[in-house]
Amino acid sequence: MNSGKVREIRAIIGSVRPEMEILDLTELPYAEKIDETGNSFKENALIKAKAVYTEFKLPVVADDSGLCVEALDGLPGVLSARFAGPNATDEENNRLLIEKLKNVREEERKAWFSCAAVFYYAENRYIHCEGRVWGVIAEQPRGSDGFGYDPLFYLPSFGKTMAQLKSSEKNRISHRGKAFRALKKHIEEYYLVV
């Protein structure tokens, strides 16, 4: 489980109801490894959500997200966390991305972050929302906040990488922020009905 994602999701969703708590898988007695075998972010988010729902029979929020680079035909895509190998670190993934784009001109380094967010609330019953943010891949990492590809994801309108933004600023404009704000409305409606 990516602790950076969990922190962002908690900040974006907040508390829909006073008794509702968003738990990280590491806070639950769940030791199974969930294989992300989907061909899309949505498929992977559903795989994760369904696995946890099946175990605990509680509503689950899950996401799958990643970086897609135009010049690399959408890669790393669903392989974003494993771009440089199965147990790759953020630094290794970033290094590989820089290497693959070393001879690519700035105007051809367009990229987007994509997030598929899922609220899985009953057997085969779920709501799905997506969010995207567009940018350019920088030649070198900049900034120390964020995680993953944030230091390389440059936002021309801000003149900064995602890793140079404050958390509140990033959550306001990010792919995850967009997806989970949309999903939050559905979660609120669900709890009004239940």
Q: What is the pLDDT of residues 90-136, one digit of tens each?
A: 999 999 999 999 999 988 999 999 999 999 999 999 999 999 999 99
Does the active-site annotation cover 64? yes
Q: Give the residue-averaged pLDDT of 44-68.
A: 95
* Nearest Cα residue to 155 out of 179, 130, 136, 182: 136
Q: Which fold has domain 3-193?
A: Maf protein (3.90.950)
- Decide if 42 contacts 64 (C-beta within 8 A): yes
pLDDT recorded at residue 3: 72
Question: Does the pLDDT at position 25 exceed 90?
Answer: no
Measure the CA–CA gap between 189 and 132, rounded to whole angstroms.
24
Angle at which helix 3-13 crosses helix 175-193, to 10 degrees, equals 50
Per-domain residue ranges of the chain: 3-193
Task: Name the catalytic one among 24, 35, 64, 73.
Answer: 64
